[in-house]
A = this chain, B = another copy of it.
Amino acid sequence: MIQRIDVSRGHGYPLLLGATLDELGGHLKTAYGTSGHYLLITNDVVAGYHADKLLDGMKDLKTDLITVPDGEQEKSLDRISKLTEQALQFKADRDTVVLALGGGVIGDLSGFFASIFMRGMRYIHIPTTLLSQIDSSIGGKVAVNHPSGKNLLGSFYAPQAVWTDFDTLQTLPWQEMRNGLAETIKHALVADPDLFEFIEEHADAIKGLDYKIIKEMSLRSLAVKVKIVTEDEKEKGNRMLLNLGHSFGHALETEEAYQGVMHGEGVSIGIAAAANLSRERGLVNDKQLDRILNLLMKMDLPTTAKAHDRAVLLGHMSADKKNKAGNKVLILPVGIGRSVIAADCNDEEILRAWEKVII
């Protein structure tokens, strides 16, 4: 049975949860008729696991497949340029609907492509990873990276729908599952103390890949995201809280040219850095700091980074989208289950936070 949750007020769209991949074709026929053109964009790894099942349900729909290499380095203007060429070869036009099958990279890349190709075509996100199911597929933020910084070029561009088949998680390697767990722990720290306790209590079940528990955790985690983005679609206020750990994490990803630390690893280290800064300011106590670091480590997520020049990392943080009038804006946890936007962080305390997490 498909569960429907509507995201946002204005240009709202539904999350369709618990659907299976082969049912999508039927949904598309109902929504758009049988004469439309679809461009399925995915990566070579996801294609191997899931493309056949999805295409099985689309046999009588005109669907062309574009496969891009796996990896964060594909979120680039170069890849956008190549997609443009390929889409034209398939005679895509403004009425074509993009189907983005994959995780956060595919969602961001395909969504941004859909937002600018011929000034905008429709897209449907079919998230196949924990990270994309509970986080990146929700909220209409799409972007590519730039050598100067993560997600620097993008749009707010809502999909027509998000089609979430939780069964795809069963093919997800633990390394990718961890990526999503970092964002889940972030959601808990931003707005849901009960979710934090749930993950603590069921840590072994989650590591043991108990998909019933993982699904329950996912539903609670995505509910945090839906609530926040519905209240603040364009990230003028509280939506910035969802950037907890990302200012530090993006700096690491940028420094390693999106080919070193994984996104979830960067977020995890970033949460550790932000929690240390919170500790210095007295926003969390020692016990709370330990609970945060321990839960990350329990999930095999890193809380320290390999050696980098802290001043260079600080420099990358200048390209953060939250910054205002040249000042760095950070998100800091307050106890367990609440966070705040701090616009008054000075470079010295940020450097001290980096010192805590760099070996």
- Residues in chain A within 8 A of chain B (CB atoms): 35, 37, 77, 80-81, 84-85, 88, 91, 93-95, 115-120, 141, 143, 146-149, 152-156, 235, 318-319, 321, 323-326
B contact residues around A119 at 8 Å (CB)? 141, 143, 154-156, 235, 321
Residues from chain B with Cβ under 8 Å of A116 in the complex = 116, 153-155
Tell me if A324 and B153 are in contact (CB < 8 A): no
Pairwise interchain contact A93-B155, C-beta atoms closer than 8 A: no
Number of copies: 2
What is the bound-complex CA distance between A325 and B32, given in angstroms? 14
A141 — which chain B residues lie within 8 A by C-beta? 119
Given contacts A115-B155, A119-B143, 17 further A-B contacts (CB under 8 A): A80-B153, A84-B146, A88-B148, A88-B152, A88-B318, A88-B319, A91-B318, A93-B323, A93-B324, A93-B326, A95-B324, A116-B116, A118-B154, A119-B141, A119-B156, A119-B321, A155-B155
Cα separation A152 to B149 with both chains bound (whole Å): 25
Within the complex, the shortest CB–CB distance from A204 to chain B, in Å, comes to: 39
Minimum C-beta distance from A320 to chain B (A):
8
Query: Whole-angstrom distance from the CB of A138 to the nearest CB of chain B?
Result: 16
Given that A93-B324, A153-B116, A321-B94 are known contacts, is A80 also in contact with B77, CB under 8 Å in the complex?
yes
Ordered by A's residue number, 17 sampled pairs between the chains whose C-beta atoms are within 8 Å are A77-B77, A81-B146, A84-B148, A88-B318, A93-B321, A93-B323, A93-B325, A93-B326, A95-B324, A95-B325, A116-B116, A116-B153, A116-B155, A117-B152, A117-B153, A118-B154, A120-B155
